[in-house]
Structure 1
Amino acid sequence: MPEAAYVYHPDSLNYVFRRDHPFDQRRLVMTMELLQQVGALDDSALIQPPYALDEQLLRSIHIPQYVDTVKQLSLDDPEERYISLAGQYGLDYDETPFFPGMHKSASAIGAGSVHAAELVMSGQYNHALHLGGGLHHALPQKGAGFCIYNDASLAIQHIRHQYDAKVLYIDTDVHHGDGVEMSFYTDPHVFTYSIHETGKYLFPGTGRVEERGAGEGFGCTINLPVEPYTEDDSWLECFGTLLDQVLQRAQPDIIVSQHGCDAHALDPLSHIHCSMRIYREMPQLIHQAAHEWCQGRWVALGGGGYDIWRVVPRAWSLLWLEMSEHPLLQTLDHDPQLLLPEHWVNRWQAQSPVELPRTWLDDVSRWEPMPRRQEIMKQNRHICELAASYLK
């Protein structure tokens, strides 16, 4: 069986709110080019999903009125009565404004994540990656946080309906995975585990450790909100410690993970102070878990990440290198200052407003020491222990 599929739909590049919006899909192109230049992505691994997103599946996650409004607001010249409804459905703000063609591009993203799930569950591949996906903030009744349709929820719903499999959803985005949590808050067959910056200071303001699910799904939601300015050691300590216990409790048939890479110190929309190290080690832990618990079944999605120049292409490339077990990782583990391809750096430096990194990983020895490091680690351990106590 082929190890990993790289799912990519060109229409996902049309998911564009406006020219100056922080959600910039050039990151998908930059990542693909970086992987191709190091010989880690050839045509045999690239899978283009079928365009059509099953309407019944879409409406099982989002209410019909919302879907219909998205369709109408996607027209070049929408009717005034639908424009007046945009605010009700979260689509008239600077954050997630409606745009021409949004239904088609959002549906392409949804179809990509569902197809990635199908590739794995049908046994065609052990793993599948869809970096265009991971739009985890879209709620059943509204768009939010740059997300129109919740492709992660659509993929999980497909797995549940078609295969009756137990799903562990792992969300590593710096923002809480609220939309996916809400979709399955009462479902005992979907376990959600989200590590994120505390919502005290960051969108969407949810993801408290006390959020644990409801009804039959009580105890199947685990949130790990960490303090602002958390660094690599504390982030990875908490994530790995709790992951082991979550796996014991969830006993999943498949892992679906979301890999927003906005917990990096350079990301402009958060306050976490991690380096590229967490994007090397978290996929490694999830990969190991998939083989230990799920016979290798693993679907990985993209997500947030708003320093598209210095962070996203490296982080997402490291994810694919891990998923595909590419030998470049062995070289990188022996040489943390391994250089990026010079041609790739030069090509994108011509467009970048900032100086691009030259190495795969960050040299954190050059970073300024973070104040209150011990207090932050202590608070994070306390929250981790509290979350772990809910699993017993």
Structure 2
Amino acid sequence: MSGRAQLMWDPAVTGYDFGPGHPMNPVRLDLTRRLVDAFGLDRDVEVVAAKRAGESTLRLVHRQDYVEAVKAASADPGAADQAYGLGTVDDPAFAGMHEVSSLIAGQSVGAAEAVWRGEALHAVNFAGGLHHAMPGAASGFCVYNDAALAIARLLELGVERVAYVDVDVHHGDGVQAAFWEDPRVLTISLHEHPRTLFPQTGWPEETGADGPAEGTAVNVALPAGTGDAGWLRAFHAVVPELLAEFRPQVLVTQHGADTHFEDPLAHLAVSLDAQRAVQVASHELAHEYADGRWVALGGGGYAVVDVVPRSWTHLVAIAAGREIAPETLTPEGWRQEVYARTRQLAPGRMTDGRWPVEHREWEAGYDPADRLDQAILATRRAAFPLRGLLP
């Protein structure tokens, strides 16, 4: 195994563009890549452009009729079939949609292949993490579910246990659905409570299909307004113990940046510094339980200047083994580029100045009257006994 990290990147992924005014502005990808380069991280990783996911790969998760519907909408956006979730407000059809969606999927599949085959120890595709796409429909800004496709490819290659940890503010519903009946895949999602946020799923009681897969879906539904301390507490109260029991051969993580307090589409109050702390913890957990095999993906994130580029640049730096100190100034050249592209002032440092404290012991400080602790306990009670663990 080379030990070198890979950054999956093809400039054409910025063509994943639902049009003016849509929250998922592809400038967030371009600005992230430029910040990665501004810090010289492109010299610490191998930058790889994988091929588009072919039809046989897409069929590992998606139905043939859906793939054909995406192709048809890609060729003629005006003919998009809303029965497949295409041509909607969330997922407007656009020319070339199939090609760029399959390109993003190909980067995640290529990342999974590289990690499993030992070509890299870690691989990052921050353009990926499109976790809402279902086998037969687009959903929530997601056309093809690259995260599920990467996991399915790992299973096809013979991996026996894959763990997927999703810390996007929205429930990782598409990945959970893809592996609902598969005991080889453990899906863990920490997200804002479904009572207050799309897609209105991800309740603690969703634990996988009856039978061998029961207990392989785990959901932490966090109260709106949860901040750094609660978010980190929830992560450490659930994720490490489950990974220790499951012993994945590969860890796939999704790092949607929309948990941030500046994000316009959700209601958590997490800082960039807490996001970085979870990225560091994910890296540590990959080494502790998966022999270091780590595939890290992007996801949501709609504060496209202030938050997303910094969060995912930290992710790349952690994977590359060259962490960026939070107090580091953002490079002047990058700030100028941000202003030229967006007419917005770029953030000046790689921190929100929050310096969150991580409490990694669940029992310490448990408060039965606290809504956050109630949410954690609901998850542990629903899922942990199914895995032979104490709630």
TM-score between the two structures when normalised by the length of structure 2:
0.91
> Aligned match of 1:140 in 135, 138, 142?
135
Question: 1:103: how far off?
Answer: 0.5
Code of the residue aligned with 2:70 in structure 1: it is V
Alignment match, 1:58: 58
Against the structure 1 CA distance between its residues 375 and 204, is the aligned structure 2 distance closer, same or farther, given a 3 Å change threshold? Answer: farther
Alignment match, 1:213: 208
Alignment match, 1:371: none
> Aligned match of 1:387 in 379, 382, 385?
379
Question: 1:341: how far off?
Answer: 1.1
> Aligned match of 2:310 in 310, 314, 330?
314
Asked if the contact 1:264–1:311 (Cα under 8 Å) also holds between the matched residues in 2, the reply is: yes
Code of the residue aligned with 1:177 in structure 2: it is G
Q: Which residues in structure 2 correspond to 1:117-196 (within 5 Å)?
A: 117-196=112-191
Q: Which residues in structure 2 correspond to 1:212-291 (within 5 Å)?
A: 212-215=207-210, 216-291=212-287
Code of the residue aligned with 1:339 in structure 2: it is L
Against the structure 1 CA distance between its residues 77 and 95, is the aligned structure 2 distance closer, same or farther, given a 3 Å change threshold? Answer: closer
4+ runs of 1 displaced by more than 2 Å? Answer: 349-356, 374-377
Cα distance between partner residues in 2 of 1:12 and 1:152: 16
Using the aligned pairs only, state the percent identity.
Answer: 37
User: Can you give the 5+ residue segments of structure 2 that lack an aligned partner in the other structure?
Assistant: 356-365
For residue 41 of structure 1, give the secondary structure of its aligned residue in structure 2: helix
Cα distance between partner residues in 2 of 1:107 and 1:376: 46
Cα distance between partner residues in 2 of 1:93 and 1:297: 37
Asked if the contact 2:368–2:374 (Cα under 8 Å) also holds between the matched residues in 1, the reply is: no
What do the CA deviations read for 1:215-268 (whole angstroms, capped 9, x no partner)?
A: 321100000110111110110011112111111232111001111100000000
TM-score between the two structures when normalised by the length of structure 1:
0.91
Alignment match, 2:70: 70
Q: Which residues in structure 2 correspond to 1:76-87 (within 5 Å)?
A: 76=76, 82-83=79-80, 86-87=81-82
Asked if the contact 2:169–2:190 (Cα under 8 Å) also holds between the matched residues in 1, the reply is: yes
> Aligned match of 1:88 in 83, 90, 98?
83
Cα distance between partner residues in 2 of 1:128 and 1:212: 28
What do the CA deviations read for 1:109-142 (whole angstroms, capped 9, x no partner)?
A: 1111100000000011100001111100001111
Cα distance between partner residues in 2 of 1:386 and 1:27: 35
Asked if the contact 2:6–2:47 (Cα under 8 Å) also holds between the matched residues in 1, the reply is: yes
Cα distance between partner residues in 1 of 2:344 and 2:31: 15
What do the CA deviations read for 1:68-124 (whole angstroms, capped 9, x no partner)?
A: 11111111476xxx54xx111111211111111100001101111100000000011
Asked if the contact 1:276–1:361 (Cα under 8 Å) also holds between the matched residues in 2, the reply is: yes
Question: 1:164: how far off?
Answer: 3.0
1:8 to 2:9 alignment: yes
Asked if the contact 2:130–2:144 (Cα under 8 Å) also holds between the matched residues in 1, the reply is: yes
Code of the residue aligned with 1:23 in structure 2: it is M
Against the structure 1 CA distance between its residues 314 and 188, is the aligned structure 2 distance closer, same or farther, given a 3 Å change threshold? Answer: same
What do the CA deviations read for 1:306-356 (whole angstroms, capped 9, x no partner)?
A: 011000000001111111110x53xx1xxx433211221122123435433
Alignment match, 1:363: 353
Code of the residue aligned with 2:261 in structure 1: it is A
For residue 197 of structure 2, give the secondary structure of its aligned residue in structure 1: coil
Asked if the contact 1:230–1:377 (Cα under 8 Å) also holds between the matched residues in 2, the reply is: no
Of 347-356 and 256-265, deviating more is 347-356
Code of the residue aligned with 1:273 in structure 2: it is A
Alignment match, 2:329: 339
Asked if the contact 2:4–2:46 (Cα under 8 Å) also holds between the matched residues in 1, the reply is: no
Asked if the contact 1:339–1:359 (Cα under 8 Å) also holds between the matched residues in 2, the reply is: yes
For residue 59 of structure 2, give the secondary structure of its aligned residue in structure 1: helix
For residue 42 of structure 2, give the secondary structure of its aligned residue in structure 1: coil
Question: 1:50: how far off?
Answer: 2.0
Q: How many residues align?
A: 372
Asked if the contact 2:244–2:289 (Cα under 8 Å) also holds between the matched residues in 1, the reply is: no
Cα distance between partner residues in 1 of 2:343 and 2:268: 22
Alignment match, 2:360: none
Code of the residue aligned with 1:242 in structure 2: it is V
Alignment match, 1:348: 338
1:293 to 2:289 alignment: yes
1:108 to 2:103 alignment: yes
Asked if the contact 2:77–2:93 (Cα under 8 Å) also holds between the matched residues in 1, the reply is: no
For residue 225 of structure 1, give the secondary structure of its aligned residue in structure 2: strand
Alignment match, 1:22: 23
Code of the residue aligned with 1:286 in structure 2: it is S
Asked if the contact 1:57–1:158 (Cα under 8 Å) also holds between the matched residues in 2, the reply is: yes
Cα distance between partner residues in 2 of 1:22 and 1:144: 14
Code of the residue aligned with 2:188 in structure 1: it is Y
Cα distance between partner residues in 1 of 2:313 and 2:354: 20
Cα distance between partner residues in 1 of 2:36 and 2:246: 33
